[in-house]
Amino acid sequence: MRGAIRNFIEATTPYRVCDAVDDGVSAVRKAMGSICDVVLLNFMQPQDNLVTASLLRSKVPSVKIVGFSTLSTDENQSSPATAFDAVLTKQDGLSKLVETLKALMPKSPRA
Which amino acid, 39?
A: V
- pLDDT, tens digit, 9 for 90 and up, residues 9-61: 889 899 988 877 777 788 888 888 888 889 888 776 556 778 888 889 999 88
Residue 92 placed within a domain: yes
Q: Rounded to whole angstroms, how far apart are CA atoms 98 and 15?
A: 10
- pTM as predicted: 0.81
The CATH number of the domain holding residue 38 is 3.40.50.2300
Q: Could you tell me the residue range of the domain that residue 8 belongs to?
A: 2-104
Residue 26 placed within a domain: yes
Give the long-range contacts of residues 70-77, CB within 8 A, separation 24 or more.
70/43, 71/43, 76/43
Residue 109 placed within a domain: no
Residue 110 placed within a domain: no
Residue 61 placed within a domain: yes
Residue 96 placed within a domain: yes
E-assigned strands of 1-111?
38-42, 64-69, 86-89
List of residues 6+ apart from 56 with CB closer than 8 A: 27, 28, 31, 39, 63, 65, 83
Indicate the pLDDT class of residue 97, thresholds 50, 70 and 90.
very high
What average pLDDT is seen over the chain?
80
